[in-house]
Amino acid sequence: MLRLENLTCGYGETQVVRSLSFNVKEGEVLSFIGPNGAGKTSTLLCLMGLVLCKEGSIFYNEKNITSLPSEQRIKEGISLVPEGRRIFPDLSIFENLMVGGHTLSKDKCLKNISKGYDYFPILKQRKNQLAGSLSGGEQQMLAMARALMVNPRLLLVDEISLGLMPKIVDECYEVLKALKGQGLGIILVEQNTEKAIEMADHIVVLEAGNAIWKGSSEMAEKEDVIQKLLI
């Protein structure tokens, strides 16, 4: 469903990720692991069309989307749960979800909001509450529900577990597992390597913009790769 070929991306003259290649198939999770500043977020933003792709190509369902604007990529079925959640604090939960679905018809929007509430019932209970007054975990759930408003087939998920209680992290991961079960492709960026490996079919370890290891989660566990690489 997604194929990256020698992707190089960056800001201005600077390259922050070099010659990165990987594939994600339907129903597969690819975990992207690496230290701070490795280029994980930049790669996700480049896939969304929000960071400049300097070299290489991005294919989505065999279509070259390398120069497609962000809005078009969302229409094609790619959606991002951004690092730091980026919810709108002065809007209610319901309004945040409406913004997430602003490209849809009203009926479709309401239907998808209702699906979001099924995934995260707490959002329904608090639907009129301002997003800024929610706990970190609730804000994360809102960010996920908002990304799902467009019915993505490929979901990019940046650091969802950061700063959250283990119970909430588990709840978010249950939803990701359900989405994987529905055939969504998922790219997971995680500092929580245990969770990232547990959930992954494939793993890419990124360091200073270079992929220094790629393999299956079984290989990673067997070789104790991640621990060795990240020490």
Ligand X SMILES: Nc1ncnc2c1ncn2[C@@H]1O[C@H](COP(=O)(O)OP(=O)(O)OP(=O)(O)O)[C@@H](O)[C@H]1O
Where does this chain bind ligand X (CB under 6 A)? Answer: 11, 16, 34, 36-42, 83
Site string for Mg ion, 49-88 (x = CB under 5 A): ----------------------------------x-----
Closest distance of CB 41 from Mg ion, Å: 3
Residue 42's binding partner out of Mg ion, ligand X, none, with CB under 5 to 8 Å set by partner kind: ligand X
Nearer to ligand X, 131 or 206 (CB): 206
**What is the residue whose two structure tokens read 């079919």?**
201
Other residues' Cβ atoms within 10 Å of the Cβ of residue 148? 24
- The C-alpha R_g of the chain, in whole angstroms, comes to 17
Q: In whole angstroms, how close is the CB of 34 to ligand X at the nearest point?
A: 6
Residue 49's binding partner among ligand X, Mg ion, none (Cβ under 5 to 8 angstroms by kind) is none
Whether the CB-CB separation of 100 and 150 falls below 8 Å is answered with: yes
Query: Closest distance between Mg ion and the C-beta of residue 137, in Å?
Result: 19
Nearer to ligand X, 37 or 166 (CB): 37
C-alpha neighbours within 13 Å on the C-beta side of residue 91 = 14
Identify the three-state secondary structure at position 119.
helix
Residue 40 beta carbon to ligand X: minimum distance, rounded to whole angstroms:
3
Report the SS3 class of residue 124. Answer: helix
Angle of helix 136-148 relative to helix 93-100, nearest 10 degrees? Answer: 30
Choose the contact partner of 101 out of ligand X, Mg ion, none; CB within 5 to 8 A by kind: none
Nearest CA to 47 among 149, 156, 151, 143? 156
Which residue number is nearest to Mg ion in terms of Cβ?
Answer: 41
User: From the CB of 2, what's the least distance to Mg ion, in Å?
Assistant: 19
Counting residues that bind Mg ion (by CB under 5 A) gives 3
First and final C-alpha spacing in the chain: 33
Angstrom distances, CA of residue 15 to CA of 52, 55, 63: 10, 10, 25
Q: Among residues 2, 10, 18, 41, which is the contact residue for Mg ion, using CB under 5 A?
A: 41
Minimum distance of ligand X from residue 87's CB (angstroms)? 18
* Interface residue list for Mg ion (CB under 5 A): 40-41, 83
